[in-house]
Chains A and B, each alone.
Chain A
């Protein structure tokens, strides 16, 4: 019942939204608009991320359109609500068959991205992935599926690297003597990312004292806190969604327990909801994540201009500053438009594939510091993870050098009442 209600409302809204674009393009341009379908979880449990990502992509497309479009053609962005893998399949097919969309982007979660990209490939369309991190995403021998964003490995690796390079010296401990506990929610996201963190830690000679998985829907994490307390690690590396990230911090505080450093890996630790929920207790927490921002000196002039424009527009529209997921959406949208669509011979999948494989955009070309260079499997080699820290209840970028805007503070973590 709700689905059909939704679909009809979306259709009406879609038509209303599209009407001016279509009308103006008929007057001003001889050609049809370029249609892009965005497949994101816009409702349901992961919709926080889906909407943030979509808003970023939308801001990028609006900016490109306002600057004249691609070779004189406007881009028309369609919404597909992939609130579950099943919905992602039907939304991808709906946009492909009913709207004639042949270019897709997405997808906020791996569960959605894996199936949406498969459907796109089956429809002979092009899929530009920004957020799904599953390691096997690019192992499927698809022709026209490219991942601009990080793999789980790329997302998890900066956490132990940062622990070894920066946290250990601040704690005056040899990296190989660091005691690290890895905790993660038990979906593919938590499992893949935490495994990447562990693999990287072991490469650095760091021993993992505890690896603990739990359900993100848990209502009580005090057993986990007790385990952590008895192990007493120097660093906790945690892969969590929002609910469970909030719950863990609160229960650690209730039980008056804290590690010497806490490093999350994106998701729950790189979202404003965390600060809203726990206030100043958030200060000092690190998160290895998609980059929030880049050091201005490391950016090209074009990227700097993009950044100013994006932040200005985003704040005007949503009354908050864009954070990690919004910036990521923007980067994914702007790269697709400016460095793939604008460079491709046509907007069919084969030409877009060609343009993607040829793309050689230097690091520092996008607002988050990334560039573009795909390997033969379609994974961007110029996407790097970074580390942010919560300082004064705001996220600031602290690692790597190209993204660093401030030094880390609060290592070791002070007592709860001193954060």
Chain B
């Protein structure tokens, strides 16, 4: 029984991280209908920013977020203006090429700037844990989990209750009608894309005390996010969170009961079953074109 609880906790903690990485991706897809293949590289960039602020200036990762998140937001605005906006009306395959090329470009840029060495933010609290009976719980993982869920919840609330959020949802539902009622669609796209980058930036900050970073870290982590986004329903925030937690749990339990090498096999089988039964994912709606923030 102890082991079941310990496994569930581990699964939920890592699932929270997956969810946070995926939320930004699904948001951008839901509103702009762009699959951002460079999403992982923004995660890597945020991890490097956090690393250098920690290493050079001695700023704790959680404090560094005050600077890193706005920086990532700015980087998102810039990317949207230079690369995404000019290609929005182009066929989907063009956007795929653009973001994929951006991903390769950023990987190689990071490689030439920082080499392929793994760099680690070594905080004194990285491995601190508390004990409840027979269970060991890492403070850091709990903190990451709580912040991740709070951010996802905050995003959902932002979309639901603020004017900008309503504009984003309106644009997601029908960009032409949104424009007709006076919404500045270009600005909505820019803000949404930047928000996606800021969210994955936050994920990068949270991950940096847990994992070492090199130019390929984001690319390695992002595959699972694509699975989560599709599993949860493309464009659905609640779906991304649910699917993220689900995949975390599945990984944890199969890792223990079936062996670590079968983790991916099991969640891809689950993935295929869910898609066979619900082709639009757990929370997705037909055509995956509706922004769902419930």
Contact = CB atoms under 8 A, between A and B. Distances in A.
A5 B108 contact: yes
B263 A218 contact: yes
A235 B75 CA distance: 48
A51 B114 CA distance: 13
Contacts of A255: 129, 136
Contacts of A215: 260-261, 263-264
Interface string A48-92: 100100000000000000000000000000000000000000000
A210 B105 CA distance: 43
Contacts of B10: 220, 222-223
Contacts of B255: 214, 218, 220-224
A230 B129 CA distance: 19
A224 to B, nearest CB: 6
A20 B248 CA distance: 56
Given A220-B252, A222-B6, A276-B120, A214 B127 contact: no
B216 A242 contact: no
A297 interface: no
A186 B261 contact: yes
Contacts, number: 122
B74 interface: no
Interface in A130-172: none
Contacts of A256: 129, 131, 136
Interface string A3-45: 0011000000000000000000000000000000000000111
Q: Which of A186, A221, A222 has the most CB of B within 10 A?
A: A222
Interface of A is mostly: helix
A241 B212 CA distance: 12
B44 to A, nearest CB: 13
A277 B211 CA distance: 9
Contacts of A253: 127
B222 to A, nearest CB: 11
A256 to B, nearest CB: 6
A226 B212 CA distance: 22
Given A1-B101, A243-B118, A277-B118, A226 B256 contact: yes
Interface of B: 3, 6-7, 10-11, 13-14, 17, 101, 104-105, 107-108, 111, 115-120, 122, 126-129, 131, 136, 138, 141, 210-212, 214, 216, 220-221, 248, 251-253, 255-256, 259-261, 263-264
23 contacts: A2-B104, A47-B111, A212-B260, A214-B255, A214-B260, A220-B11, A220-B14, A220-B252, A220-B255, A222-B7, A223-B7, A224-B255, A224-B256, A243-B211, A247-B211, A250-B210, A254-B138, A255-B136, A276-B120, A277-B118, A278-B122, A279-B122, A416-B127
